[in-house]
Structure formats: structure tokens, C-alpha cells
Amino acid sequence: MSSETLNDPVVVGAIFGHGARISPAWFLFGGRKIKVIGTNHVWVERQGTATLHHFSVSDGSDTFHLVLNSETLSWHIEGVSLP
């Protein structure tokens, strides 16, 4: 398995549900649209006044680390792990 650390902005399609639940459904990365098949882990941290929502998601083969900044409402990808 190889992993790559990134800090690139990404476009994410997400579902916002009950109780402020957020679920990324797809995102654009590397010139392609990646459908999220599963969410492995979710956690939240504070960075100054912003709340960062972290998502470890999978497309069925690769794992991606997406982050939503609640202050700027922007998404970025922090990393990808390939088999």
C-alpha cells in the first residue's frame, strides 16, 4: 500500500442530514468523479475559530481523507492511500 499526503482543494457533493450529520457522496479528484462507497471513520477538530470535519472515505479500492472547514465551507483532500 502506498499513501500520498496532499492539501488540495476539491469539489465535494455531500448529503447533510439530521443532527448535523454530513456524508460525502462524491468528489472530483485527478480529473475524475469519485463515488464514495463507504465511510471508514469520521472525526472533528478545532483549528482556531473553525471546526474541521474529517472523513476517511473509500471508493471500493482506494481510501481518501477529506476535510470540510465549517468556517469557510470549503473542502480539501489531505491524503490518499492506494492498495
Q: How many residues does the structure list for the chain?
A: 83
Distance CA 22, CA 42 (A): 10
**Comparing C-alpha atoms, which of 74, 55, 62 is closest to residue 10?**
74
3-state secondary structure of 68: strand
Q: What integer best gives the mean pLDDT of the chain?
A: 94
Q: What is the pLDDT of residues 35-64, one digit of tens each?
A: 999 999 999 999 999 999 999 999 999 999
- pLDDT range class, residue 20, cuts 50, 70, 90: confident
Distance CA 48, CA 27 (A): 26
pLDDT over 70 for what percent of the chain?
Answer: 100
User: CB 57: neighbour CB atoms within 10 A?
Assistant: 24
- pTM assigned to the model: 0.92
